[in-house]
Amino acid sequence: MPEPIPELLIPVWPAPAAVHAVISTRVGGVSLPPFDSLNLADHVGDDPAAVAENRKRLEVVARLPATPIWLNQVHGTRVLDCAGSVTSREADASVTSQPGQVCVVMTADCLPVLFCNRAGSRVAAVHAGWRGLADGVIEAALAGFEGPADQLLAWLGPAIGPDAFEVGPEVRERFLQDDPQAASAFHPGRPGHWLADIYRLARLRLERAGVGFIGGGDYCTVTDIKRFFSYRRDGVTGRMASLIWIE
C-alpha cells in the first residue's frame, strides 16, 4: 500500500513568480487519531516521531528550499524578522526578504494571513486569532514592509467560518472600540452571543491599511472535517501550516 502524500492548498493570487506559498491540510501524514493525519505541531500531545515525519513529508512534497522557521505562537503581535538574528521564536508572525527562508504559521481555526509585495522581494506569514487580530498583529506585520500599502498582496487562509465562530459580547465590543464598521462582521447568535466573521474583520483592517489585493477567505475549518483540523470542533487536535517563501 503506497504511503500517504500530503494534500496541499495553493493560494490563488497574483503573486510574483518568485513568491511561493502553500497551505497544508490534515491529509497525508502518519499521525494517529485524534491528530490524524498530517499534524505539524509538536505542542499538542502528538507522538514527536510522527510530527517529525509529517514535517519531513511536507518539506519534500512542497519542495521547500529549507526547513521552515517554526514559531512558538502565543496569540500576540510580535513579528519575527527571519533575516535578522533569531534570538527567540516566540512570535505570531514572521517576515523575510531573504530568498530560501520559509516563513510559517500554524492554525486550527485561527486565521492565517500570507503577505508579499508586488516586487517579490519580501514576504510574511501571520497567525491571527481574534485576540491577535484585535491587538494589531496584521498592522504589526504590515509595518515590516517598506513602500506604499497598495503594492502589497494578502491572502486569507483556512479559518473558522462566519456561521461557526460564536463569541461573547466582550469580543464584539473589543473590535468596535477600534472600528465601528466592525459591527458588520457580527450577527446575533443564541441569546447573549454573536456569530463573528473573522475573514470580514481581517478584510476591514487590510482595507483600512490600503492593501492593494486581498484574496482567499473561502473556507471553514469547523465544517470541513475531512480537510481541516479544528480546535473549536474537536478540542484535542492537530495543526495545519501556512508557508511562504521567496525562490
CATH number at residue 138: 3.60.140.10
Question: What is the signed CA dihedral for 195, 201, 203, 207, rounded to 10 degrees?
Answer: 140
How many other C-beta atoms lie within 10 A of the C-beta of residue 47?
A: 14
How many other C-beta atoms lie within 10 A of the C-beta of residue 183?
A: 12
Residue 187 within any structural domain of the chain: no
Residue 191 within any structural domain of the chain: no
How many other C-beta atoms lie within 10 A of the C-beta of residue 40?
A: 27
**What DSSP state is assigned to residue 97?**
-
What is the spatial distance between Cα 151 and Cα 227, in angstroms, rounded to a whole number?
32
Residue 183 within any structural domain of the chain: no
Average pLDDT, the chain: 96
Residue 39 within any structural domain of the chain: yes
Residue 16 within any structural domain of the chain: yes
Residues near 190 by beta carbon (within 8 Å), at least 6 away in sequence: 166
Domain coverage including residue 82:
8-162+218-246
Report pTM.
0.96
Residue 211 within any structural domain of the chain: no
Residue 135 within any structural domain of the chain: yes
Per-residue pLDDT of the chain (247 residues; tens, 9 = 90+): 567 789 999 999 999 999 999 999 999 999 999 999 999 999 999 999 999 999 999 999 999 999 999 999 999 999 999 987 777 899 999 999 999 999 999 999 999 999 999 999 999 999 999 999 999 999 999 999 999 999 999 999 999 999 999 999 999 999 999 999 999 999 999 999 999 999 999 999 999 999 999 999 999 999 999 999 999 999 999 999 999 999 9
Residue 200 within any structural domain of the chain: no
**pLDDT per residue as tens digits for the range 117-151:** 999 999 999 999 999 999 999 999 999 999 999 99
Of the candidates 27, 141, 143, 29, the residue with the CA atom closest to the CA atom of residue 77: 141
* Overall domain count for the chain: 1
